[in-house]
Amino acid sequence: MRTNSPPGTGPPLSPRPAGACASGPGGERARAGSASPRADAGGGASAASAEKMNYMPGTASLIQDIDKKHLVLLRDGRTLIGYLRSIDQFANLVLHQTVERIHVGKKYGDIPRGIFVVRGENVVLLGEIDLEKESDTPLQQVSIEEILEVQRVEQQTKQESDKLKMQALKERGLSVPRADTLDEY
């Protein structure tokens, strides 16, 4: 049985935080200024907390980095530098005015690559380049031909060193699987 009591004399109401939803007719949840009565249903973040959120989860947070210069390290060890032009939900990237930077010791060389599309699963690292500090590097820039020659010599030296290690292991009765028979992932 329901009794009519004067206003303010009924049971105490629990305080409602600012921006909280009130139940409307039929149990629907409604919010002032909300276009959809179901906007807050399902336990998701309310509009008030979404407005306070200064980041977006996942790759959507990179939208603010569009048209800025970035360095991308790929899974195969290559380094790309270019302007980020597009990104999708899989972290697939489109880089413009891209150069492939090759580092050997204290020297580096840039090979122009143009527009580069990078599949997201191959990205290991992505970072914005500070244009003011870009020229303050302890590395020496050399020509493409010179850096490719230095890289070839370094790879050849590494192969000879690996060959000597394999031979020493064989002499001791140990076997190491060859790199080309291993899965590269």
- pLDDT in 10s for each residue of the chain, 185 residues: 555 555 555 544 444 444 444 444 444 444 444 444 444 444 455 455 445 555 556 666 778 889 999 999 999 999 999 999 999 888 899 999 999 999 998 999 999 999 999 999 999 999 999 888 888 888 888 999 999 999 999 999 999 999 999 999 988 888 776 666 555 55
* pTM metric for this prediction: 0.59
CA distances, 127 to each of 5, 30, 79, 175 (Å): 65, 42, 11, 40
Q: Give the three-state DSSP class for 70.
A: strand
The strand pairing partners of 99, in sequence order, are 81, 112
Site of tokens 């009519």: 4
> Which of 102, 171, 167 lies closest to 140 in space, CA to CA?
102
- Strand pairing of 22-23 and 79-87? unpaired
Correct CATH for 59-141 of 3.90.75.20, 2.30.30.100, 2.130.10.10, 4.10.410.60: 2.30.30.100
In angstroms, the CA 101 to CA 183 distance is 26
Q: Do 104 and 154 touch, CB atoms closer than 8 A?
A: yes
Q: Do 37 and 28 touch, CB atoms closer than 8 A?
A: yes
In angstroms, the CA 100 to CA 96 distance is 12
The strand pairing partners of 164, in sequence order, are none
